[in-house]
Structure 1
Amino acid sequence: MLTTVQIRALKPAARPFKVPDSGGLFLLVQPTGALLWRFRYKVFGVERKMSLGTFPNVSLKDARKKRDELRSEIVDGGDPVEEKRQRRLKDELAAATTFAVVAEEFIQKMEREGKSPATIKKARWFLELLDGIARRPIAAITPHDLLDVLKRVERRGHHETALRLRSFAGRVFRYGFATLRVDRNPADILRGALTVPRVRHHAAIIDPLKVGELLRAIDDYNGRPETTFALRLAPHVFLRPGELRQGKWSEIDFADKIWRIPAERMKMKQAHTVPLSRQSLYLLQELRSLGRPSEFLFPALHTTKRPICENTLNVALRRLGYEHDEMTSHGFRATASTLLNESGLWHPDAIERALAHGDSNKVRAAYHRGAHWAERVKMAQWWSDYLDQLRAGGAVIEGKFRKEA
């Protein structure tokens, strides 16, 4: 066995040489004079070597202590070299696996699952807002780190954005957990940490006389033709603003008088068919006669490769003098829902189907789609005729009690 005096007396040679101690511990003497502690052991008959530091930084006593600790691990079935390698790989993976990397993987997964372009765009926007943690290893992010980013957004008055940001971050962490990159979700314990804004319903005009005034104002709108036609068509078809503005000519069937919207463009992810009234068909034919080459019904101003932006119709309503708390582009649906129900002429399920309100029961949803189609066709024409009547300042339909069949 070695002594400290013997070690200090060692002289280097032209080539490295070993000086054994005991129990697999030895010194490797380098030509430079460096003295390196090494521990040699076998696992399943395979020889392993492990570095324990340099002398005198690691004394003889400390080297033997480290050797004994490692021998205990080996007796218990461990492999110090392999465990060290695994720790190094884990640390390297953690350093390379940032929140941004995992979030980008998650967004790509959303794309493969058929999420709409608008949803993907919003997810990337959320990732930009999370820049404060984006470049950090995801496994090292604490609830305090995430809360700090969310509070910065909230302090700017963007309460709803902060809530949605927490939700998005939570989904990224859940994906990271499922793919073995994290072992906890910091977003989960932040429930209740952010201010929940008062729910605001989409402003809508439901007084029939004021609906007539709105329709006359739309007729006098002097903006871009695409915006004008979108405004004029919106009251007739009961679609959400995004579903309307992203409409494509390939979805319109003039012969069958229907608008077929694929599931990926619908909020409820169910394909939806809209019966088109004479008035709707006329507006679409007039729009087509503009001859602007685009797959979209309502192409943007500077490019035909994208539809008008999501706020175009709301801006147009503001130009017409309607404030955001009076009427929104989404409000056309509420207008139709309220007045159709108050008329007492139509089955509530037919109205719900026209509004594309989803049904979690797929069998029942399929039944209702078929059972109420004929009524929806009649209702679409009645509604467009009623809008014409209101536009002209005609009589208002009084509410009736609908007789059940």
Structure 2
Amino acid sequence: MPLTDAKIRTTKPADKPQKLADGGGLYLEVRPTGAKLWRYRYRIAGKENVFAIGDYPNIGLSDARELHRKARGLVEQGIHPSHNRQAERLANNAANANTFEAVAREWMAKKSAGWTPYYLRQVENFLSGDVFPYVGKLPIRSVTAAHLLEIIRRIEGRGAETVALLVRQWSSAIFRYAVATLRADSDPAAALKGAIHRPKVEHRKPLSREQIAEFATALDEYGGYRTTVIALRLMLLTFVRTVELRKAEWSEFDLDRAEWRIPAERMKMREPHIVPLSRQAVELLRELHTHTGGRGLLFPNYRNPKECMTATTLNRALERMGFNGKDSIGFSAHGFRATASTILNEMGYQSDVIERQLAHAERNKVRTSYNQAEYMKDRRTMMQEWADMVENMMKPKEGGEQCQD
């Protein structure tokens, strides 16, 4: 006769263990200590075995019958329920060890060798701030598209659409890595492609020829550090990326040969870059050498000389000069690149020469090598002609007006 809850509750311990059968090999063992334990007796290959289902009342009668039903299904397949439970426990332990954060950090460690320090910090900071607090401790197999959608919508809600797009891309890369290492079955982030509206790209505003003349006047009247003035002039003459100038070291320069060689690890495209230096740039660098030549960096931080000039220094200077900030033309330090590119293209210089000097990516690797060798003479000529033209723009005309040609 099958067991009832009342029968189980009212059965008292005896001197010897008691077995209360429920049918199909399931029974409740009542021990002299008062413990009540669910057991399932079964046979595989003619050998009798006992599977410990659990204890009462933690597992009630209905739950015990459901677990018994599942165990009988395994026995019919020739699988010992205890072996199956052990395998599930190991799988769960592995899943708990392979949390989203653990796999993400492993992915970062694998990929970081090919990243710039800035990009690595960007990935770490946004994942740590926006993703790990919500799904970092979950087994990666249990993280769903719904989890990720909530995260990226939260980021989008604070107005950081670009960050939301990056987080989705990085999450997708993490899941693809997990799939490749057999710790996930699919990439749920892939389903979210298109869920975030990509913001319209605001291109860096360039200076017009007239504004270059205005910039020269504002720079002459700027009351800040002379090294900041030199940095801004060099940005205009060399049109390198701001980080390339801020972190420049004197060991990279050969002023006698009028050449600056930027190492690959500091370049966005991870390839070394040569900047031919105009006469005007060399003059500025020789002056700068009297200020910072005894140090490794061209532009050390005044508060911490071992570090370089901060990323905001140049833009704050432009803000004080009226070129950046509220009610301005919105010109940032990175805009010197757009300024040179726009005017040089207008002047008819070969686009390949301009693009090579801007250190933009060249997808054809054979062509990249060809450009580096073929265009160097043209780049030297262009850089000097650019500096001469800028110098002419910045000279005051008779009567105090400035040249605008």
**Do Structure 1 and Structure 2 share a fold, with TM-score over 0.5?**
yes
Answering whether residue 283 of structure 2 is matched by residue 279 of structure 1, we say: no
1:214-225 equivalent positions in 2, closer than 5 A: 214-225=215-226
CA contact (8 A) 1:259 1:274 kept: yes
44 and 391 in structure 1: CA distance in 2 versus 1, 3 angstrom threshold = farther
C-alpha distance in 2, partners of 1:94/1:86?
A: 12
CA contact (8 A) 1:313 1:329 kept: yes
1:308-319 equivalent positions in 2, closer than 5 A: 308-319=309-320
C-alpha distance in 2, partners of 1:279/1:144?
A: 58
Answering whether residue 141 of structure 2 is matched by residue 139 of structure 1, we say: yes
C-alpha distance in 2, partners of 1:78/1:232?
A: 78
2:331 paired residue among 323, 327, 330? 327
The TM-score with structure 2 as length reference comes to: 0.82
CA contact (8 A) 1:17 1:29 kept: yes
The TM-score with structure 1 as length reference comes to: 0.82
Letter in 1 for 2:107: F
> Structure 1 residue 333: deviation in Å?
0.9
1:81-230 equivalent positions in 2, closer than 5 A: 81-111=82-112, 113-127=113-127, 128-137=129-138, 138-206=140-208, 208-230=209-231
> Structure 1 residue 75: deviation in Å?
4.7
Residue 242 (structure 2) aligns with: 241
46 and 338 in structure 1: CA distance in 2 versus 1, 3 angstrom threshold = farther
Report SS of the residue matched to 2:275.
Answer: strand
Report SS of the residue matched to 1:290.
Answer: helix
> Structure 1 residue 351: deviation in Å?
1.2
Answering whether residue 270 of structure 2 is matched by residue 307 of structure 1, we say: no
C-alpha distance in 2, partners of 1:163/1:60?
A: 51
- Between 19-28 and 222-231, the greater mean CA deviation after superposition: 19-28
CA contact (8 A) 2:38 2:54 kept: yes
C-alpha distance in 1, partners of 2:384/2:135?
A: 52
Residue 361 (structure 1) aligns with: 364
Report SS of the residue matched to 2:391.
Answer: helix
Residue 262 (structure 2) aligns with: 261
Report SS of the residue matched to 1:187.
Answer: helix
C-alpha distance in 1, partners of 2:338/2:278?
A: 19
C-alpha distance in 1, partners of 2:293/2:256?
A: 22
157 and 35 in structure 1: CA distance in 2 versus 1, 3 angstrom threshold = closer
Report SS of the residue matched to 2:184.
Answer: coil
Structure 2: stretches of 5+ with no match in the other structure: none
C-alpha distance in 2, partners of 1:57/1:126?
A: 43
How many residues were matched structurally? Answer: 393
* Identity among equivalent pairs (%): 39
C-alpha distance in 1, partners of 2:72/2:174?
A: 42
Letter in 2 for 1:337: S
C-alpha distance in 2, partners of 1:288/1:47?
A: 89
Letter in 1 for 2:114: G
Structure 1: stretches of 5+ with no match in the other structure: 399-405
C-alpha distance in 2, partners of 1:68/1:387?
A: 86
Report SS of the residue matched to 2:54.
Answer: strand
Report SS of the residue matched to 2:102.
Answer: helix
> Structure 1 residue 321: deviation in Å?
0.6
> Structure 1 residue 223: deviation in Å?
1.8
Residue 350 (structure 1) aligns with: 353
Report SS of the residue matched to 2:291.
Answer: coil
Letter in 2 for 1:117: P
CA contact (8 A) 2:213 2:393 kept: yes
Residue 73 (structure 1) aligns with: 74
CA contact (8 A) 2:13 2:31 kept: no
C-alpha distance in 2, partners of 1:140/1:158?
A: 26
TM-superposition CA deviations, 1:252-307 (whole Å, max 9, x none) = 23343222222222222222111112222222222222137643322223212322
User: What's the C-alpha RMSD, in Å, of the aligned pairs?
Assistant: 3.7
249 and 52 in structure 1: CA distance in 2 versus 1, 3 angstrom threshold = same
- Between 97-106 and 70-79, the greater mean CA deviation after superposition: 70-79
> Structure 1 residue 379: deviation in Å?
1.4
TM-superposition CA deviations, 1:300-355 (whole Å, max 9, x none) = 232123222222212211111113544221111111112222222x3221111111
TM-superposition CA deviations, 1:164-216 (whole Å, max 9, x none) = 3333333333333333333333332222322332221101113x232122133
